[in-house]
Chain A
Amino acid sequence: MNILCLGVNHESAAVEIRERMAFAHKHLAESLHEIQALDSIEEVVVLSTCNRVEIYVTSQNMEPGFDQLRSYLDNHFEMQVGETVDFYKLHNEGAARHLFAVAGGLDSMVLGETEIFGQVKKAYADAQQAGSTSRTLNKLFQQTFRAGKLVRTSTQLTRGATSVGSVAVDLAEKIFGNLSTCRVMLIGAGDMSRRTAKSLHSRGAKSIIVSNRSYDNAVKLAEEMDGKAIHFDHWSDSLNEVDIIVSSTAAPHQVIHAEMISAAMPQRGHQPLFVIDIAVPRDVDPAVSDIENVYLYDIDALEGIASQTRNERKKQVAFCDQVLDQFIEEHGIEALVPSPGGPPQKTPKSDQIHSQDSASSQALPES
């Protein structure tokens, strides 16, 4: 029995190709049954996300298996004559290792992101529900979840945050712990502050006050987050009531001065204040950073931390590979996927496959 993987990802195919090839979730069971019905295919799991479409199958015969899969995809997605798609073809240990790396976030566009682990789990659960998996893929995916978890827990690949919004949330949690008791004030209702506030809201911050020059916009954003809007002239009155300030006004001058914060701090007792300044030009006087219990982060500081995390994650890739090598050695992937056709494939290979079928072009919804 061979394990085969045929797929495209964010590196091998442009978004136009990936969105055409995405499997619609509501038709997934049907597609799984169609693939399983192919002569050479026995088991199948389809992993279809924004950044990848990968089909994992088991087949007694490797080449016919790949050929039939390719033909199925050409037909299913109505590829036109001469259309070129950079599929990668992996088999046995190569396919297993690739799946482990995918589940561990090593093959993601944002290196180390953890959402993919849940997507792999969902893909497997969907296939199980559709009855398209059996002994080999069941074992492979169980091993995959162990390998993915191992990569996440035994390396620094997932440590830190890689976007400005998530860095702000991470910092807030390192200052306050549980955010459910934190009160947040947004000064300015721009896109960045909206996204940051939503991140904080999603991590538990409940009480949100929005202040904006346009009161209507403040009301609109406050309603989105079950918060309350206040007039821009009155935001400083609420300084001693909030724990986190997100400022992103379009003002050409500083809006929050050190004197204002200094005056508000005694009324706050020993409670820290986290000030996030994502405006350019900056809204907050840098001297605010010198006040005890006040933590000021501007856009450069946040981006710097995100960038540092991305670099750290890149440095972790070699170590993650070692972890996977050790996992494969310890868990005997060869026993799981015996390869009668030759020695196990160590490194992923990519074959360019040209679509042969003629059909009309039709965009498919992204799952």
Chain B
Amino acid sequence: MMQTPMDKIFLIISTVCFFGGFAYAVNGLRAGRHHDNRANLLVMGVGFLFLCATLYLRGEIHHRCPITSLHEVLIFLSWSMVLLYFILGKTFRLSLLGVFTAPLVLLFQLAALVGFFLEGEPAAIGKDTDKIDGWLELHASVSLVSFGALALAGVAGLMYLVQNRQLKRKQLKALFYNLPPIRYLLTAVVRLIVIGVVLLTIGTISAFFMRNVPIPLHQGLSILTWLAYVILLALYLSKRIGNTKFAQGAMVLFSLPILILLIL
């Protein structure tokens, strides 16, 4: 019984950490001190650990993957975004990705917090093992990680547009010196969309094997999302659209996963 308030407390601490990390990074950028972002990474890391703890406690309550409500889905999505940022941010040489990711994560977590405080007693769904549908667990978790990758692709797209605008207008602000080169940003957008599409393929296919197939609108939107990203990628790789349109597309198309989450 003591676990229920703890998950909320952990989520609050995690949200405060992400807010602190974001505020610290923005302040550092304004003062030109972003070179040393270890403190920022540390705060983000602590926030991520508390997010893991929140999901663990919710999993313990439900006896299954904690994606049983919209606010849990948002927490899971935040978790996957931060995880992918930690894994891929360094690999893709994307400094500042955290600064751009944090506001989105904050938004999701604040919405989740509201849901947490409005919900009643969470149900132990998984106690009756017959109720657990492995395909549903796979569909939901893999789809959410794919949404995390697609969200980061949108964030990298935004970073590209900001950097491109500064280069084109020859107005080099503080951000210019801290943002990665545009070539790296475009590579990152492509790779993140590929990762997102591959995971979404697994997520969408697994939905067909679920005990209770999702409502047609949900399933239709998932397929539409998959198709939209595949078309965007195909247009870009076949050189039918330029870098700017591709980056804009990566940003705009993220509204589709958001729409899927809203109709859950």
Would you call A61 an interface residue if the criterion is a C-beta within 8 Å of the partner chain's C-beta atoms? no
Minimal Cβ-Cβ distance residue in B for A154: B33
| Contact partner, A297, options B170, B186, B236, Cβ 8 Å | B170
| Contact partner, A269, options B35, B239, B246, Cβ 8 Å | B239
A292 touches B93 (CB 8 A): no
B36 touches A154 (CB 8 A): yes
Give residues of chain B (177-235) contacting chain A, Cβ–Cβ below 8 Å: 177, 179-184, 186
- Residues of B with C-beta under 8 A to A316: 32
Contacts A159-B177, A176-B183, A293-B242: A171 and B32 contacting too (C-beta < 8 A)?
no
CB of A300 to closest CB in B, whole Å:
10
CB of A181 to closest CB in B, whole Å:
10
CB of A24 to closest CB in B, whole Å:
37
| Contact partner, A174, options B35, B168, B176, B246, Cβ 8 Å | B176
| Contact partner, B93, options A154, A159, A177, Cβ 8 Å | A177
Give residues of chain B (152-174) contacting chain A, Cβ–Cβ below 8 Å: 163, 167-168, 170, 172, 174
Minimal Cβ-Cβ distance residue in B for A269: B239
Would you call A145 an interface residue if the criterion is a C-beta within 8 Å of the partner chain's C-beta atoms? no
- Residues of A with C-beta under 8 A to B31: 156
Would you call B243 an interface residue if the criterion is a C-beta within 8 Å of the partner chain's C-beta atoms? yes
Question: How far apart are the CA atoms of A36 and B242 in the complex, in Å?
Answer: 68
- Residues of A with C-beta under 8 A to B68: none
Interface residue tally on A, bucketed by range: 20 to 34
Would you call A272 an interface residue if the criterion is a C-beta within 8 Å of the partner chain's C-beta atoms? yes
Give residues of chain A (164-188) contacting chain B, Cβ–Cβ below 8 Å: 171, 173-177
| Contact partner, B180, options A160, A177, A289, A304, Cβ 8 Å | A177
Would you call A153 an interface residue if the criterion is a C-beta within 8 Å of the partner chain's C-beta atoms? yes
- Residues of B with C-beta under 8 A to A72: none
A293 touches B32 (CB 8 A): no
Would you call A352 an interface residue if the criterion is a C-beta within 8 Å of the partner chain's C-beta atoms? no
Question: How far apart are the CA atoms of A301 and B170 in the complex, in Å?
Answer: 7
CB of A51 to closest CB in B, whole Å:
25
Question: How far apart are the CA atoms of A22 and B172 in the complex, in Å?
Answer: 39
Question: How far apart are the CA atoms of A212 and B172 in the complex, in Å?
Answer: 32
A175 touches B32 (CB 8 A): no
Question: How far apart are the CA atoms of A171 and B176 in the complex, in Å?
Answer: 10
Number of interface residues of B (CB under 8 A): 27
Contacts A177-B180, A177-B181: A305 and B170 contacting too (C-beta < 8 A)?
yes
Would you call A343 an interface residue if the criterion is a C-beta within 8 Å of the partner chain's C-beta atoms? no
Would you call A295 an interface residue if the criterion is a C-beta within 8 Å of the partner chain's C-beta atoms? yes
CB of B174 to closest CB in A, whole Å:
8
| Contact partner, A295, options B93, B168, B242, Cβ 8 Å | B168
- Residues of A with C-beta under 8 A to B176: 174
A176 touches B186 (CB 8 A): no
Contacts A174-B176, A177-B183, A292-B244: A270 and B36 contacting too (C-beta < 8 A)?
no
Give residues of chain B (231-253) contacting chain A, Cβ–Cβ below 8 Å: 236, 239, 242-244, 246
- Residues of A with C-beta under 8 A to B246: 270
Would you call A155 an interface residue if the criterion is a C-beta within 8 Å of the partner chain's C-beta atoms? yes
A270 touches B186 (CB 8 A): yes
Question: How far apart are the CA atoms of A160 and B176 in the complex, in Å?
Answer: 10
Give residues of chain A (129-176) contacting chain B, Cβ–Cβ below 8 Å: 153-156, 159-160, 171, 173-176
Contact with B along A82-112 (1 / 0, CB 8 A): 0000000000000000000000000000000
B172 touches A175 (CB 8 A): no
11 examples of A-B residue contacts, CB within 8 angstroms? A173-B181, A174-B179, A270-B186, A270-B243, A272-B182, A272-B183, A292-B242, A293-B242, A295-B167, A297-B170, A304-B170
Given contacts A177-B93, A270-B236, 18 further A-B contacts (CB under 8 A): A155-B33, A156-B31, A159-B32, A160-B172, A160-B177, A171-B167, A174-B163, A174-B167, A174-B179, A174-B182, A175-B183, A176-B181, A266-B239, A272-B183, A289-B168, A297-B170, A301-B170, A305-B172
A interface with B by C-beta (< 8 Å): 153-156, 159-160, 171, 173-177, 266, 269-270, 272, 289, 292-293, 295, 297, 301, 304-305, 308, 316
